[in-house]
Homo-oligomer: A and B are copies of this chain.
């Protein structure tokens, strides 16, 4: 999407590739919304670290990053021994797959890439095919998000108040986003609506990334505490919920997404508010048979115990602190510890529909439509 930096507006993708330098280029999302910066990873290990440490996050974006990372790793191989090359690629694959164990996109993207590479008969050919496949993967991600926007835009009518959780925006994909795609598409047709962004503790991706995105595109919005959505629903101030997903089970319609999604779905059900999940096909897991089997990351306690932000001078009343600098503050009691599950699982009975590039489906109907949705035969 377009980003305006110091008055100049330019188009950026979240993830791209510098073939000359063999670097993956990433918008450094941990600096947002306070600073906009593009960084390049030196090698595939640095790319894996960037995924793990959330320089880049979001289903599609880490899928494309892993694809580019695999191509980057493959291209760094020196020699002609195809057996050694394949062992090297396997090691690259494992390193990148381990960076975020809950997400399915990196693995799916890299499996695609390996299939495309396998046509090549020499190391050099496979290296070329790897990059071509990664670029195609990124372009398809953008096309899928655009299709999600076309299908989902009709859900947003004039005057609606739409809730979203975490960031399933263009920063979470190569471009456009999923949960935000219907919003950007509806905005493009001139519809007016208001978005409530859950701040999405503990990492606050709603308050930082989604709010930044919506502000850049001029979509009216307000940030709310995660605690406030239930109250706003009770007050009839929310008409529609759209969220993303890190993994959707094709067999059951269960949706793994950022911690707190399940809670919003339970509330929406109680209040009769439509609850939609927007996903690219790559996010569908056709193998797993139960949401209970989805591995849920337990993340660092420090995320819960404090917050990152920009020191506010006039309000801080602490003279030695320099206003405008980024710092981590410990909010919680210093002698207490935390528990920090990163994701939760929402069952299909709480989901009105799954917005995909191929149209909107009931969660229980994904399996029946698996041929159309890229599932197994």
B225 touches A202 (CB 8 A): yes
Distance A225 CA – B307 CA, assembled complex (angstroms): 12
How many copies the complex holds: the figure is 2
Tally of contact residues, A, Cβ under 8 A: 73
Contact of A212 among B199, B259, B304, B333 (CB under 8 A): B333
What separation, in Å, do the CA atoms of A113 and B286 have in the docked complex? 68
Mark A261-276 against chain B: 1 for CB-CB distance below 8 A, else 0: 0110011001000000
Inter-subunit contact B229/A336 (CB<8 Å): no
In the complex with contacts A215-B336, A307-B307, A231-B327 CB distance below 8 A: no
Contacts of A369 in B (CB 8 A): none
Closest approach, in angstroms, between the C-beta of A161 and any C-beta of chain B? Answer: 11
Confirm or deny: A18 has a beta carbon within 8 angstroms of a beta carbon on chain B: no
A304 and B338 within 8 A (CB)? no
Task: Assess the B310–A259 pair: CB atoms within 8 A.
Answer: no
> A31 within 8 Å of B by Cβ?
no
Instruction: State which of B224, B302, B329 has its C-beta within 8 Å of the C-beta of A339.
Output: B224
* CB-CB under 8 A for A333 and B211, given A200-B227, A225-B340, A338-B224: yes
- Of B221, B258, B321, B334, which one neighbours A311 at CB under 8 angstroms? B321
Q: Is the CB of B333 within 8 A of A215?
A: yes
Q: Is the Cβ of A33 less than 8 Å from the Cβ of B223?
A: no
Interface members, chain A 290-320 (any B CB < 8 Å): 296, 302, 304-312, 315-316, 318, 320
Chain A residues 190 to 232 lying within 8 A of chain B, measured CB to CB, are 196-197, 199-202, 204, 207-208, 211-212, 214-215, 221-232
CB contact between A327 and one of B204, B234, B318 (< 8 Å): that residue: B318
Q: A199-B201, A307-B307, A339-B228 are in contact. Are A211 and B332 (CB under 8 A)?
A: yes
The reply to whether A329 and B307 contact each other, CB–CB distance below 8 Å, is yes
Cα(A327)–Cα(B322), bound, Å: 10
Measured between alpha carbons, how far is A230 from B267 in the docked complex, in Å?
Answer: 11
Query: Which of A321, A333, A336 has its CB near the most chain B CB atoms (within 10 A)?
Result: A333
CB atoms of A260 and B226 under 8 A apart: yes
* A326 CB within 8 Å of chain B: yes
Complex contact B332–A207 (CB within 8 A): yes
Give the distance in Å from the alpha carbon of A34 to the alpha carbon of B259 in the complex.
28
Known contacts A327-B318, A344-B231; A304/B336 CB under 8 A: no
Q: How far is the CB of A186 from chain B (nearest CB, A)?
A: 19
> Within the complex, which residue of B224, B307, B318, B341 is in contact with A228, where a contact is CB–CB below 8 Å?
B341
List residues of chain B with CB within 8 A of the CB of A262: 230-231, 234
Chain B neighbourhood of A325, CB < 8 A:
318, 320-321
The answer to whether B332 and A329 have CB atoms under 8 Å apart is no
Smallest Cβ-Cβ distance to A200: which chain B residue: B227
A335 within 8 Å of B (CB atoms): yes
Q: Which residue of B lies closest to A224 (CB)?
A: B339
Of the residues B211, B231, B327, B335, contact of A336 by C-beta under 8 Å: B211
Q: How far is the CB of A273 from chain B (nearest CB, A)?
A: 13
Pick from B263, B307, B318, B327: contact of A316, CB below 8 A. B327
10 contacts between A and B (CB under 8 A): A199-B332, A204-B332, A211-B336, A215-B336, A222-B339, A225-B259, A232-B341, A234-B345, A309-B331, A310-B334
Q: Which residues of A contact B (CB under 8 A)?
A: 33-34, 196-197, 199-202, 204, 207-208, 211-212, 214-215, 221-232, 234, 258-260, 262-263, 266-267, 270, 296, 302, 304-312, 315-316, 318, 320-322, 325-341, 343-345
